[in-house]
Amino acid sequence: MTNNNGLGNLDNLFQSAQADGLTNNTMDLVVSNLNGPTMATAVGTPLSQLTSNEVTLAMNIIDMSGSMAPHAADLIAAYNNDYLAAMRGSNAADDILMSTIVFNQDVTLLHGYMPLKDVPPLTHTSYDPDGSTALYDAVAGGLTNMVLYAQQLRQSGVMVRCIIIVYSDGGDNASKQRAAQIRRAATELLKHEIYTLAYVGFRSGGINPAELRQLADEIGFPDVLAAGLDHQELRRIFHLVSQSTISMSQQGAMPAGMFS
């Protein structure tokens, strides 16, 4: 089975993934999302253009539902100035490939994995909140994208670390896929220790830690952080994620979690 998204022969990747210990819990999710929107341009950087044999894949999955509209300008500024710019200026910049997904009732891959210097900033065109929240569909697509690209890298002798951060201000109300299947895959991926799965829960009012933990647990994401939606909080969160990503790319997984 071949494709046009840069991943090469998918049958070979599936066999390699199973040889590395990935079971049907993960592969069923991958197969069901092969034709999804996150696979169109999954690879922004061909293997021949990699400059390091140790790579960190950083994926952002960002809520773009209508409830985020009042905070769009602040989120765009924080993403561009406190996350992307910080990582570009770090010593680890050459070892990080980044991909970003936004979602409302639809899931949109803004760009496949590419070097930080080539990553486009968010704009009011690419981030324009409206509609409902297909969080499960977005996470399932993001996991599929990352699992296959990470497997391609590992198959080629590249050491890889994988970080997925979900940012959302509420629960799912529009997905076709179920949380349980995502949770099973996430639980398996975490056993391989190269994956970090984190959930940032936005709230414009009071934050209920128990509710936030439940939302993260539904999809099997163990690292959880509550955040407000004002300008300063968004700057703090995106700066924290940038610094954690840089540290993990240099040192490996943090035993106490990404937000320790």
Strand order in the sheet with 195-203: 107-115, 96-103, 54-63, 159-168, 195-203, 223-228
In angstroms, the CA 187 to CA 171 distance is: 20
In angstroms, the CA 260 to CA 252 distance is: 14
User: Within 13 A of 185's CA, how many CA atoms are on the CB side?
Assistant: 26
Q: Domain 10-251 maps to which CATH number in 3.40.50.410, 3.10.50.40, 3.30.43.10, 3.50.50.60?
A: 3.40.50.410
181 DSSP 8-state letter = H
pLDDT in tens, 21-75: 899 999 999 999 988 988 877 666 777 788 788 999 999 999 999 999 999 999 9
Q: What pLDDT shows up at residue 2?
A: 46
Find all residues with CB under 8 Å of 83, minimum gap 6, and list them: 238, 239, 241, 242
In angstroms, the CA 53 to CA 126 distance is: 32
In angstroms, the CA 9 to CA 17 distance is: 13
pLDDT in tens, 77-102: 999 999 999 999 999 999 999 999 99
